[in-house]
Amino acid sequence: MTEKGLLQRLENGGNVVVAEGYIFEFERKGYLQAGSFVPEVTLEHPELVRLMYEEFVHAGSDVALAFTEQIELAVKYRADYIVAETFAHHGEAMLALECIKKYGKGLPAVVTLFAATGDTFVEGVNVAEGCKLLEDAGAAVVGLNCSRGPETMIPLLKEIRQMCKGPIAALPVTYRTTQEEPTFTALTIPGTKKRAFPLDLCACLRSRQQIAEFAEQCKEIGVQYIGLCCGNSANMTRIVAEKYGRNPPASKYAPAMEKHFIFGDKSKFKSGFTEDLRTHIGGQFD
């Protein structure tokens, strides 16, 4: 976080941009094994973990998310708040919140739900109702993380916004989930019936434009704690940060297609190899 703490920023109408997805990104880079998905990289190559933190912060993330669930470490290193990303059901989320309140020494809690199986948890609690119960129990921020992509998370976010009064969170995966395949574990490779999760999810990635559209939708809904989870990369984090009014250092390198030899203004190209190449390859784009 920057100068203002989590609660101060959100109470003043601000927002927090959060880059997640470290494990999938390290697997893509060849430093983590798909299957167990245990982050050995923290022990074997801590310098790379530090570098990825820097990449995401450079791209606009306010948070360097630690590879730990130990509240003691968060307190020791003066964290601004504690995150509980709960998987199975609402009851687990309530237990996590109780643990933070007991051992967190007053740090605010962000509790997000992994809505994987449907709109209702095993206890019969609706996702939005579960978030409301967590908010009433003292969570500073409630919402959803992982599992669902933008398309299938947005409807739930709208319900949560109607139900909850305080700040809400949205951290979807970056994959093309649908009503038929609402979570990334259910995705199939387009045009086939073969499961995409986890090794072929690259065939189901959302485009940059679609990530930008998701961020715009979240702003309209009133999501203040915004980010991306599995499948995230620094360029996608930059897009979200920019849509939320930020100008991170990485924005210096945002696309400028007017400079491209195919898509740019051809009157600015000199004769010779570049113009010949443009004519040969890019004439269709004129």
SS (H, E, C) the chain: CCCCCHHHHHHCCCCEEEECCHHHHHHHHCCCCCCCCCCCHHHHCHHHHHHHHHHHHHCCCCECCCCCCCHHHHHHCCCCCEEEEECCCHHHHHHHHHHHHHHCCCCCEEEEECCCCCCECCCCCEHHHHHHHHHHCCCCEEEEECCCCHHHHHHHHHHHHHHCCCCEEEECCCECCCCCCCCHHHCECCCCCCECCCCCHHHHECCHHHHHHHHHHHHHHCCCEEEECCCCCHHHHHHHHHHCCCCCHHHHHCCCHHHCCCCCCHHHCCCCHHHHHHHHHHHHHC
* Residues 111/91, Cβ–Cβ less than 8 Å: no
Q: How far are the Cα atoms of 83, 118, 123, 134, 160 from residue 113, in angstroms, in the given order?
A: 11, 12, 14, 10, 11
Q: How far apart are CA 57 and CA 177, in angstroms?
A: 27
Q: How far apart are CA 237 and CA 57, in angstroms?
A: 9
Q: How many residues does the chain have?
A: 286
**Nearest to residue 85, comparing CAs of 187, 172, 184, 199?**
172
* Residues 144/153, Cβ–Cβ less than 8 Å: yes
Tokens of 61: 């993330």
Query: In the beta sheet, which residues pair with residue 84?
Result: 111
Structural domains of the chain, with CATH: 6-255 (3.20.20.330), 257-286 (no CATH)
| pLDDT attached to residue 2 | 47
Residues 194, 183, 169, CA angle at the centre, nearest 5°?
155
Distance of CA 84 to the CA centre of its chain: 15
Per residue of the chain (286 residues), give pLDDT as tens: 544 588 888 988 899 999 999 999 999 999 999 999 999 999 999 999 999 999 999 999 998 887 765 666 676 666 778 888 876 566 788 888 898 888 888 889 999 988 765 555 545 678 898 899 999 999 999 999 999 999 999 999 999 999 999 999 999 999 999 999 999 999 999 999 999 999 999 999 999 999 999 999 999 999 999 999 999 999 999 999 999 999 999 999 999 888 887 777 766 655 555 555 555 555 554 4
pLDDT per residue as tens digits for the range 39-75: 999 999 999 999 999 999 999 999 888 776 566 667 6
| pLDDT attached to residue 6 | 82
Q: How far apart are CA 147 and CA 32, in angstroms?
A: 20
| pLDDT attached to residue 175 | 97
Contact partners, residue 3, CB within 8 Å, separation at least 6: none
